[in-house]
Structure 1
Amino acid sequence: MPLDPLCARKTDSSAATGLLTVAQRHFFDQMLGKGAPYDRRTTIPRGQAEESDMIMLPVTRSGPLDDGDVTATELTALLREHGTTDREVLQVKSITQAKARHVLPVKLLVYTDSDRNDIEIGVVIDGELSKAHELALIGHGGAKALNITIAPPPERPLLDPDLEKARIPLEEVTQHRAEQAALQLGSQPPTPGPPAAQEPQADEIRAIGVFEHPDILDEALSHARRRLLIISPWIKNAIITTTFLSKLEGRLTRGVKVDIAYGYEGNDTKTDAAAVRKLTNLAKRYPDKFTFTRLKATHAKVPPYDDVWVTTSFNWLSFKGDPDRTYRMEEGSLVRNRQNADTQYDRYLALIDDQRR
């Protein structure tokens, strides 16, 4: 969400000191067209947001602010938001805008009906829905203005018949997780103590919903102990972040074998060259542990790690950077079993060798 840092030079009144003139920095919310009490630590430079392929929400106004765009009453309210209750702004003498533009990262919640005819968007700031920003977004055209559309989900890749028969469906998985969450909310917090050693998880074959995919990728990057293999048609900067690279290098320094492959025929338009360069450089630093391969063509989208493999239509390394912003409720399957994982790991390594460009 676009913000403008501004410095307001104002006249304050204080019970102890009388009148004085001070300068104080605040943010001007360009979407709402008024000053905002955002913490500077939660904002980022606009260039960083653009590099991460964030959606820029529309603004009510752009360009330089006039001195009358922020009133003394508004600045007093901002002081109250920041906990300053012993001062009142009497007059705004001038406003100076900082050269560096910042934005506030927010979350968009996309809602639609079963027929995908109506799309609504919620704006979440600091963990809470903002009705003011939602209304402002509606005024600018809502989902249509952001080029957000909903498409039917692609067909789920099927498992072998025996695995398919044992697979726990998504509805049952979702219900079980909801029950677990309810139990945790109602239970007493655990007594602090040393972290318990991570126990190997039991075999499982279950569905995974679209929103669980990023968590599975993060689990692999954070906890893989022996191997990690990712195949994705495209690679985007929004995924290959500093955090991603740091976690990946953390696996490499612990001796984990990593293989990443990408490529979709001759089409590289959906892949960011900078993201490829970052992974290439990391592979050069760990030639014995990390192979990074451009394939001739692949439709495979899998991340086998340790004793786990996932089959899905989800694009693991580009899901945040799809410029057409078409949302699909993609569903996949997770199989946690050493023998099956070994088979799939060998299969996809062979595919990489065969499709190596």
Structure 2
Amino acid sequence: MLTEHGRLILSELVAIVAQEEVLRLAYDGLTTEYKVVDNSLRWRPRDLRDHDILEIPAFPADPPTVGPSETSAVRTALDDVTRKADKELLTVLGLAEKREKFFLRAVALVFESADRADETSVHFIIDGRASEQHDLAFARAEGQRKLGIVGSLRESASAVDAVIGDQLVAQRTDETEIIALRRLTEDYKNQLVAVEARTLSATDQQQDDLVDKASTLAVKLDEAEAALAAIPVRVLEVHEHAPLLFDALKGAREKLLIVSPWIRAAVVTPAFMAALETLLKKGVTISIGYGIGDDGGSHGKDRDAEAALKEMALKYANFNFRRLGDTHAKVLILDERYAVVTSFNWLSFKGDPDRPFRDERGTLITLASEIERLYQDYFTRISSSQGSLR
């Protein structure tokens, strides 16, 4: 058993020995910084393809040279790790294993100046927080110009206008009015949720008052939503598209028409196929036109989804399914209720890979004559197409 003096002498004799270890570090290709990234946050290239998520490429594209010269940068990234382990990084020797490419999921927000249409900025949200480092790095790398953001946004809007025609463009309600109505409906929804939550802990008297307030809010919400629905030609925001597709799959009575360049398994799921077949059994006429060039971005599951649609088309005479080969248009038409012409891809939720940034808003039309005109145009094209069912 050591005495206190013995322990003191022993502690003074302890030698510091260098140990060689392999550390898993990430290198941010945009900010050119080393980072520690948890495995649960790492997205592989295959994950991006499966979830139809756009890649922001590294600028520059070449990976860093890993060696002693990187010691300072790596030490900064490892500060928290080494401090907790009571270790100090002496030097980086080199790359121990092959590099693996992975991604962090983020949201890119593109802002356009209200005064100058050609003035835009891109900002990134990562893990729920704004990342000024990535904003600045993207700007320094001239990411907007290299990815063609401004031009792509303009092309998306003009393509929709070309399909619907000048007359409908002129009838499209001013966007500020639409925004005001949307905000009003959201405000009523939030108030209604808050009132309903308060009833859970309210007294009997309070509950009577809250029920009256909830009824009033529900009426106002219905009126605001009805006012929005009554607009014959209006802008449709990105987040409004998917609910319309699901609504069409659930509620079509006579006819449903979809035009979309790409088909992806992430959208054409077994549930999607089941809903489609239910409509076909009810006698609903369904027309789907798809395909643009050689779809090199499709994978095994995507081709399986396409094959499933082909098989269903062979089974039901009221299902027109044709590969058109040049379907730049993206259209959804439900009965006489509405038609949507958009840059949003209905059957893939993904845009043209050659135009990574897009304005995926569309135009919603509820004018009966225009719905019929658009339906006949696309129904005729799909029905008379010589494209294969594959």
TM-score normalised by length of structure 2 = 0.62
The alpha-carbon distance between structure 1 residues 70 and 213, as it changes in their structure 2 partners (threshold 3 A), is: closer
Distance 1:89 1:272, change over 3 A: same
Q: Which protein has the bigger strand share?
A: 1
**Partner SS state of residue 230, structure 1:** strand
Secondary structure of 2:54's partner? coil
Structure-2 residue corresponding to 1:312 = 341
Match of 1:188 among 166, 188, 194: 194
8 A contact 2:22–2:96 mirrored in 1: no
Could you report, residue by residue, the CA deviation over 1:230-277 in whole angstroms, capped at 9, with x for unpaired residues? 114x33xxxx4432122533523644665310367xxx26x5473784
Query: Percent identity at matched positions?
Result: 16
Kindly indicate whether the alpha-carbon contact (under 8 Å) linking 1:230 and 1:301 is maintained by their aligned counterparts in 2. yes
Query: 1:333: Cα distance to partner?
Result: 2.1
Cα separation, partners in 2 of 1:145 and 1:98, compared to 1, 3 Å: same
Q: CA contact under 8 A between 2:241 and 2:344: conserved in structure 1? A: no
CA gap 1:38/1:229 in 2 versus in 1, 3 angstroms: farther
User: Does structure 1 conserve the Cα–Cα contact (< 8 Å) formed by 2:258 and 2:331?
Assistant: yes
Correspondence for 2:127: 126
CA distance in 2: counterparts of 1:78 and 1:259, whole angstroms: 58
Specify the alignment match of 2:35 in structure 1: 36
Is the aligned partner of 1:209 residue 2:208? no
Residues 351 and 99 of structure 1, relative CA distance in 2, 3 Å threshold: same
1: CA distance, partners of 2:101 / 2:297: 26
Q: Note if 1:71 corresponds to 2:74.
A: yes
Contact residue 173 and residue 235 of structure 2 kept, 8 A: no
Task: Give secondary structure in 1 for the equivalent of 2:332.
Answer: coil
> Which residue in the other structure is 1:243 paired with?
266
Matched residues in 1 for 2:148 and 2:166: separation?
A: 34
RMSD: 4.4
Contact 1:295–1:352 (CA<8 Å) still a contact in 2? Answer: yes
- Verify: 1:303 aligned to 2:332, yes or no: yes
Where structure 2 has 5 or more consecutive residues not aligned to the other structure, the ranges are: 1-15, 201-221
In structure 1, C-alpha distance between the alignment counterparts of 2:59 and 2:97, rounded to whole Å? 17
Which amino acid is 1:91 matched to? L
Matches within 5 A, 1:54-69: 54-59=54-59, 62-66=63-67, 68=71
Work out whether residues 30 and 62 of structure 1, in 8 Å CA contact, stay in contact via their aligned partners in 2. yes
SS in 2 for 1:124: strand
Q: Which residue identity lines up with residue 249 of structure 1 in the other structure? A: M
Aligned length: 315
Residues 255, 291 of structure 1: alpha-carbon distance in 2 compared, 3 angstrom cutoff? same
Q: CA deviation at 1:219?
A: 3.8
1:74–1:316 CA distance, 2 compared to 1 (3 A): closer
Q: 1:206 and 1:78 mapped to 2: Cα distance?
A: 59
Residue 27 of structure 1: aligned partner: 26
Cα drift, residue 130 of structure 1: 0.8
**C-alpha distance in 2 between matches for 1:335 and 1:19:** 77
AA aligned to 1:127 is G
| In structure 1, C-alpha distance between the alignment counterparts of 2:272 and 2:321, rounded to whole Å | 12
Amino acid at match of 1:136: A
**AA aligned opposite 1:244:** V
Whole-angstrom CA distance in 2 between matches of 1:262 and 1:306? 20
> Structure 1 residues 301 and 50 mapped into 2: Cα distance closer, same or farther (>3 Å)?
closer
For residue 286 of structure 1, report the CA deviation from its aligned partner. 2.5
Structure 1 distance, partners of 2:36, 2:367, is 47
The equivalent position to 2:366 in structure 1, one of 317, 322, 335, is 335
Q: Deviations over 1:17-46 (max 9, x none)?
A: x99977664433232222334443333223
Alignment of 1:1-357 (within 5 A): 25-49=24-48, 52=52, 54-59=54-59, 62-66=63-67, 68=71, 70-77=73-80, 87-91=85-89, 96-97=96-97, 99-113=99-113, 114-150=115-151, 151=154, 153-154=157-158, 155=161, 157=164, 169-185=174-190, 188=194, 190-191=196-197, 204-209=230-235, 212-213=237-238, 215-221=240-246, 224-227=249-252, 228-232=256-260, 234-235=261-262, 240-246=263-269, 248-252=272-276, 254-255=278-279, 258-262=286-290, 268=293, 271-272=295-296, 274=298, 277-287=303-313, 288=315, 291-295=320-324, 301-305=330-334, 308-314=337-343, 316-317=345-346, 320-325=351-356, 327=358, 331-335=362-366, 348-357=378-387
- TM-score, normalising length from structure 1? 0.67
TM-fit CA distance, 1:353 = 1.5
- Which blocks of at least 5 consecutive residues in structure 1 are unaligned? 1-17, 80-84, 194-198
How many angstroms apart in 2 are the aligned matches of 1:333 and 1:214?
13
After superposition, give the CA deviation of every residue in 1:288-333 in whole Å (9 maximum; x if it has no partner). Answer: 3554202387676421236642242535357622514574585512
Measure, in 1, the Cα distance between the counterparts of 2:39 and 2:121: 29
Change (3 A) 1:38 1:173: farther
What is the distance in 1 between the residues matched to 2:195 and 2:90?
Answer: 49
Cα distance in 1 for partners of 2:311, 2:48 equals 28
**Greater gyration radius:** 2
Letter paired with 1:109? L
**For residue 7 of structure 1, what is the aligned residue in structure 2?**
none
User: Deviation of residue 174 (structure 1)?
Assistant: 1.0
1:31·1:59 contact (CA, 8 Å) conserved in 2?
Answer: yes
1:230–1:304 CA contact under 8 A, matched in 2: yes
Give, as a single letter, the amino acid of the residue that structure 1 aligns with 2:352.
G
